[in-house]
Amino acid sequence: MYIFLLFGFCCALGHHLFYASLDGRIADNQLAMLRYGTVLSFAAKAGFVAAVITAYRQRIWVTVRNKLLSVGALDSLFAATDDVSALWNTEVYQKAKMAMALASLAWLTPLMIILTSNTLLVGLVENIDHTKCPNVRTLNFTKDELEDFRHPTKIDGMFGLSVNYWNTTDDNVSAADWFDYYTGPSDFFQAVANLGVYSHQVMGAKNASFDICGAGWNCTYTIDFVAPGYKCEEIANGVGSQVQQFGNNVTPFNTSVLVPEGIYSYYAYTSGGEYDRAQMERVQPGGMPVDENGERIWPNQSLPEHLGVFRTEPVVWVGYSVRKDPDTTPPNSSMAGWNEAFTPKIFACENYETAYTVEFKYEGQDQFTNVTRREFLSKVMDTTYIKGKDAVDGTNDNTTAVPESNYVYPNDTMRYRRVSTFHSLGMMLRNAINGTMASDPIGNPGANTKALQTKLMNPKQEWFPYPNVQDLVRDLYEDIILSLFSSYRMVSLTWAAKPWETPGDLKGNETTLWPCTKSRWENRYKYIARDLWIVYSCAFLCAVIAVVLGTVAVFENEGRLYDTRFSSIVAATRGPALEKVMWKEDKGDLDPGVRKMRVGYGLIHKTNALGVVPEEETTRYTGRGMNEEGDTPRFGFGLEGDVRQIKNEGSLFRGRTLS
């Protein structure tokens, strides 16, 4: 009993330790792990059941030594752990309560195999690893300030791409007073920017998630950089509202052009003071100015003073109308309720140099960006455009702005290149949102703007602008800027860890690692220790109780460990005591009358030739192993009246009597 109990406990402990070692591990080779656990569970069950059955056998002999049972009850008692039908005999529960309780435990203990099998699960667990990722890039527009189109950056055999195109006053760099001046945004940059504008999302580089996160991983990282950003302010809200002053600028329109007073649901004016791409009327290829005879203008000092000069940065003026209740809006201005159905609004935006903090997140092949911080530092150009006043200065650019002292000249090379880059970025937004949308009648809108193709307009509401269009303009500009990350050949795209180095398409290494958080969903083992120990604790407690009862039974059986082997049964039933019963051994079954005979285990009476001796003639057993005539008494099974049972009185150690 004790060895079986210890064996079962050790197997249960081993089962726990095995599952504990798997807890949290990647669920590989699942079938084998579950099989190993099942083997340990079977072994634990076998140990506990063996302990219970051994204890049960001791209780059997205590019962038959102290009580008379019918033959049918004895059948059930000796077969209770092997034949479940033996449990249906009611007499055996009355005469052998403890023994049958142990038999029931033997049948219930295997349930722990079923219950413990559900304690090692496999579930999806998000594995989060705070580590460093290669190939993380950032924006550094200082690289565009340093870029010289005569000596372009070349990486891995390919030219780097700049945001701008340039003209020059002289192809001879040894000439006096020559300078380069801005032409416009480059075709390469325009292609990237248009993707950000018209795809309604930030474009990511091909295989960026694989390059940065690694195969099978998602990742998140944060970078900081300085880029342009539009700072917007609402200056009018409501029909007939007074337009507020926006700096020193003159608002080019008011709410009267917007529905319900006007016909437009969207009205954007973004070109006031725009830099003229054709700075001179007559130039040679490359932008070198010539006179009316086609001769180069020489020397450069004789060129117009404001050639290529940035005089101002256009302000973005946007008016739009919000439908108060889209479901009940009158279809046109001739219907009742038209004047009350809309709220016209106007806002204005200026281009600022802005400090950004941006979170990049990759899930699978999808890229998500979130601007977590934007700090507007200073205006790209701190001048005010004077509308209607032409600058007659010898150039095609008639823009006039004040103060002139804040103009940015080409000979201020580094600053000029930076302003030109930010101007190109802003131009892509301004070109995309400039124009109008007529919405009277609502059911037949008339578009004169590319904004229809952007995320500013709601196709489900007859192409009215979204109510939060002010924020969307800002976000659209940021989409353009962040889409630069999709083209690794941009010279302004550098390593986040080494912002002075433009990598192009090259892969990163140990020196370019950047802090990131990698994550992925993994099948991992989950061990429910509580459930396993609840099951095993119950099984172990029952086995301990059984062993205690078995130990008590051993003491009641005079310290002898009994069993139910064939030889033991033969020894207990030998002799003439049971031969007078008609057993029908030829058929193997029992007559109902025989099954009701009461049988017990004890001292067999001596018999005469007739096989019967009156009880008063029976020699009394002295308890010292001999009868009064000196014969050795014989114990065995006998019918009621043929056997005297030894019954315990009180404590195990107080004595016994015959009955």
Whether residue 262 contacts residue 320, with contact meaning beta carbons closer than 8 Å, is answered with: no
Residue 1 has pLDDT above 60, yes or no: yes
Which pLDDT band, with edges at 50, 70 and 90, does 608 fall under?
very low
User: Of 238, 269, 270, nearest to 255 (Cα)?
Assistant: 238
Q: Name the 3-class secondary structure at 11.
A: helix
Range with lowest mean pLDDT among 7-16, 78-87, 254-263, 527-536 = 78-87
Whether residue 163 contacts residue 186, with contact meaning beta carbons closer than 8 Å, is answered with: yes
Task: Report the alpha-carbon distance of residue 359 to residue 367 in Å, rounded.
Answer: 10
Range with lowest mean pLDDT among 256-265, 402-411, 648-657 = 648-657
pLDDT at res. 627: 46
435 C-beta neighbours (distance < 10 Å), count: 18
Q: What is the pLDDT of residues 409-435, one digit of tens each?
A: 999 999 999 999 999 999 999 999 999
Q: Which three-class secondary structure string do you get for 169-210?
A: CCCCCCCCCCCEEEEEECHHHHHHHHHHHHCCCCCCCCCHHH
Which pLDDT band, with edges at 50, 70 and 90, does 629 fall under?
very low
Residue 570 has pLDDT above 80, yes or no: no
Whether residue 517 contacts residue 219, with contact meaning beta carbons closer than 8 Å, is answered with: yes
User: Of 85, 83, 79, 89, nearest to 56 (Cα)?
Assistant: 79
Q: What is the pLDDT of residues 379-408, one digit of tens each?
A: 999 999 999 898 888 899 999 999 999 999
pLDDT at res. 628: 45
How confident is the model over 212-230, as a mean pLDDT? 96
Q: 643: which 2 tokens?
A: 């056997």
Angle at 387 between CA 456 and CA 408, to 5 degrees: 85
User: Of 233, 231, 211, 235, nearest to 221 (Cα)?
Assistant: 211
Which pLDDT band, with edges at 50, 70 and 90, does 543 fall under?
confident
Range with lowest mean pLDDT among 30-44, 117-131, 494-508, 611-625 = 611-625
Q: Give the number of C-alpha atoms closer than 13 A to the C-alpha of residue 18, restricted to the C-beta side.
A: 20
First to last CA, the chain: 31
Q: Name the 3-class secondary structure at 43.
A: helix
The torsion angle over the Cα atoms of residues 517, 487, 371 and 132, rounded to 10 degrees, is 20
Distances (CA, A) of 494 to 160, 244, 624: 11, 42, 104
Region for residue 341 given its phi and psi (left: phi exceeds 0; alpha: psi -120 to 50; beta: otherwise): alpha
pLDDT at res. 450: 97
Residue 649 has pLDDT above 50, yes or no: no
pLDDT at res. 244: 96
Task: Report the alpha-carbon distance of residue 629 to residue 621 in Å, rounded.
Answer: 10
Q: Name the 3-class secondary structure at 7.
A: helix
Q: 275: which 2 tokens?
A: 């830099």
Whether residue 536 contacts residue 117, with contact meaning beta carbons closer than 8 Å, is answered with: no
Q: 562: which 2 tokens?
A: 């009994």
> Rg of the chain's alpha carbons, rounded to an integer?
49
Q: 288: which 2 tokens?
A: 């070198």
DSSP 58: H
Residue 642 has pLDDT above 80, yes or no: no
How confident is the model over 153-177, as a mean pLDDT? 88
pLDDT at res. 563: 63
Structure-token match 């010292």, residue found: 624
Q: What is the pLDDT of residues 476-490, one digit of tens each?
A: 999 999 999 999 999
Give the best-scoring range by mean pLDDT among 10-14, 193-197, 628-632.
193-197
Whether residue 633 contacts residue 621, with contact meaning beta carbons closer than 8 Å, is answered with: yes
Whether residue 456 contacts residue 469, with contact meaning beta carbons closer than 8 Å, is answered with: yes
Q: Name the 3-class secondary structure at 522.
A: strand
pLDDT at res. 95: 65
Task: Report the alpha-carbon distance of residue 228 to residue 222 in Å, rounded.
Answer: 18
How confident is the model over 290-295, as a mean pLDDT? 81
Q: What's the full length of the chain, in residues?
A: 659
Distances (CA, A) of 40 to 6, 18, 33, 195, 386: 14, 9, 11, 61, 89
Q: Is the Cα dihedral 381, 386, 387, 392 positive or negative?
A: negative
pLDDT at res. 597: 63
Whole-structure pTM value: 0.74
Task: Report the alpha-carbon distance of residue 63 to residue 550 in Å, rounded.
Answer: 12
Structure-token match 């103060």, residue found: 403
Distances (CA, A) of 98 to 36, 326, 647, 648: 35, 81, 17, 16
Which pLDDT band, with edges at 50, 70 and 90, does 589 fall under?
low
Distances (CA, A) of 337 to 267, 444, 627: 22, 19, 124
pLDDT at res. 59: 73
Distances (CA, A) of 391 to 388, 397, 398, 400: 10, 7, 4, 5
pLDDT at res. 613: 43
Q: 526: which 2 tokens?
A: 């989950």
Q: What is the pLDDT of residues 544-568, one digit of tens each?
A: 887 887 777 777 766 666 666 656 6
User: Of 614, 623, 612, nearest to 647 (Cα)?
Assistant: 623
Give the best-scoring range by mean pLDDT among 62-76, 183-197, 607-621.
183-197
pLDDT at res. 619: 43
Task: Report the alpha-carbon distance of residue 330 to residue 390 in Å, rounded.
Answer: 44
User: Of 496, 484, 501, 482, nearest to 143 (Cα)?
Assistant: 501
Q: 129: which 2 tokens?
A: 């690893």
Q: What is the pLDDT of residues 305-343, one digit of tens each?
A: 999 999 999 999 999 999 999 989 999 999 999 999 999
